[in-house]
Structure 1
Amino acid sequence: MNTLATSTSTADSAAPFEARLVRFPAQVTQTGGVRVGYREAGQSHALCGEALPLVLLHGIGSGAASWIQQLDTLGGTRRVLAWDAPGYGDSTPVAAASPVAADYAARLAGWLDTLGIARCVLVGHSLGAIMAGAFAVANPQRLAGLLLISPAGGYGASSEALRAQKRDTRLAMLAELGPAGLAAERSANMLSPHAADAARAWVRWNMARVLPHGYAQATHLLANADLAADLATFRGKVGVAAGADDTITPPAACERLAAAAHAPFEIVPGAGHAGYIEAPAAYSALIDAFCRAAEEQRSF
Structure 2
Amino acid sequence: MATSEPNDLPALAARHPARELATAGGVVSFRESGQGTPVVVLLHGIGSGSGSWVRQLDALASQARVLAWDAPGYGRSAALPAPEPRAEDYGARVWQWLDAVGLGDERVVLVGHSLGALMASAATRLAPSRVRQLVLLSPAQGYGQAEAEVREAKRQDRLNNLHTLGPAGMADKRGAAMLSASASPQMVAYVKSIMAQVHPGGYEQATHMLAGAHLAGLLQGLPCPGLVACGDADGITTAAASRALAERAGLPYASLGPVGHACAIEAAEAVNRLIAERVRA
Change (3 A) 1:32 1:123: closer
Q: Deviations over 1:266-296 (max 9, x none)?
A: 1111111111111211211121112222xxx
Per the normalisation by structure 2, the TM-score is 0.94
User: Structure 2: where are the runs of 5+ without partners?
Assistant: 1-5
Corresponding letter in the other structure for 1:80: V
Residue 253 of structure 1 aligns with which residue? 241
What displacement does 1:20 show?
2.0
Q: Does 1:102 align with 2:92?
A: no
What displacement does 1:170 show?
0.6
Which residue, out of 19, 33, 38, partners 1:41?
33
Residue 3 of structure 2 aligns with which residue? none
Secondary structure at 2:219's aligned position in 1? helix
Corresponding letter in the other structure for 1:20: L
- Greater fraction helix: 1
Corresponding letter in the other structure for 2:26: V
Q: Distance in 2 between matches of 1:261 and 1:96?
A: 29
User: Structure 1: where are the runs of 5+ without partners?
Assistant: 1-13, 294-300
* CA RMSD, Structure 1 to Structure 2 (Å): 1.3
- 1:1-300 to structure 2, matched below 5 A, reads 16-32=8-24, 34-43=26-35, 46=36, 51-117=37-103, 118=105, 119-293=107-281
Corresponding letter in the other structure for 1:283: V
What displacement does 1:66 show?
1.0
Q: Distance in 2 between matches of 1:258 and 1:290?
A: 17
Between the two proteins, what is the percent identity of the paired residues?
A: 48
Secondary structure at 1:34's aligned position in 2? coil
Q: Distance in 2 between matches of 1:21 and 1:163?
A: 35
Q: Distance in 2 between matches of 1:210 and 1:93?
A: 12
Q: Which has the larger radius of gyration?
A: 1
Q: Distance in 2 between matches of 1:103 and 1:207?
A: 23
Corresponding letter in the other structure for 1:95: P
Secondary structure at 1:187's aligned position in 2? helix
Q: Distance in 2 between matches of 1:216 and 1:62?
A: 13
Number of aligned residue pairs: 274
Q: Distance in 2 between matches of 1:102 and 1:192?
A: 32
Q: Distance in 2 between matches of 1:32 and 1:109?
A: 10
Q: Distance in 1 between matches of 2:212 and 2:270?
A: 32
Q: Distance in 2 between matches of 1:124 and 1:177?
A: 27
- After TM superposition, the structure 1 stretch with the greater mean CA deviation from structure 2, 192-201 or 178-187, is 192-201
Q: Answer whether contact 2:32 2:57 (CA < 8 A) is retained.
A: yes
